[in-house]
Homo-oligomer: A and B are copies of this chain.
């Protein structure tokens, strides 16, 4: 009864219409830019203020705190995800396209991966995506709770495959180069596990990027097959 109050930008009253000063919108846009360029650790209220040539603390007029700003930025990421209309193509194709879209969006905004585990996605864009994917699974033939279970399963798969992928990307300095050095490092870590080692040395000549795509597709197809099976029962 006396639990901590759950707070979120999306629950508070929105600010009045934008006056002549800066707008929340432009602050969020600048924040997203900064996050894309410098990552989650690269965003500070002071630096963001400077970027907008504002005093360090002016932003607090528009935003309660940094967390709230991140919630706002997070929702912008959801805005980029495209949910195809399941009417035009089959549900499998729709789901597949959604999955690929989500993955690409997250890879484009690696900092968003850190937020998935930190704050529920309650923004209007996230809600829009949830609503549309829900409709998609409903159209596919799922009923009752299964609609949401199937939905959760698909997005869980995409998140789970993509989030660790980002860890690798950032470890490699966000570029493709030095893949050999990386492989050597992994091989060193795998010492004592001949099985793993064999595997690591196997793909010396493969493009790691292409490899990950293959892996993603393998899992996605499996996932969808499994969901289809639920549908048949």
Interface residues of A (CB under 8 A from B): 1-6, 8, 10-11, 110, 113-114, 116-124, 127-128, 130-131, 134-135, 138, 145-150, 152-153, 155-161, 163-164, 166-168, 170-173, 175, 177-178, 181-182, 185-186, 188-190, 192-193, 195-196, 199, 214-215, 218-219, 221-227, 229-230
Query: Once bound together, how far apart are the Cα atoms of A164 and B170, in whole Å?
Result: 21
Which of B8, B10, B163, B178 sits near A160, CB closer than 8 Å? B163
Number of identical protomers = 2
Known: A158-B160, A164-B159, A189-B10. A149 touches B114 (CB 8 A): no
B161 touches A163 (CB 8 A): no
Give the residue name and chain of the B residue nearest to A218 (CB). B149
Query: Once bound together, how far apart are the Cα atoms of A117 and B162, in whole Å?
Result: 8
Chosen A-B contacts, 8 in total, with CB atoms closer than 8 Å, are A2-B177, A10-B189, A114-B118, A148-B199, A153-B157, A153-B223, A156-B160, A224-B226
**Could you say which residues of chain B place their CB within 8 Å of the CB of A119?**
167, 171
Question: Would you list the 6 A-B pairs with minimal beta carbon distance, nearest first?
Answer: A160-B160, A3-B178, A222-B226, A226-B226, A156-B160, A153-B219
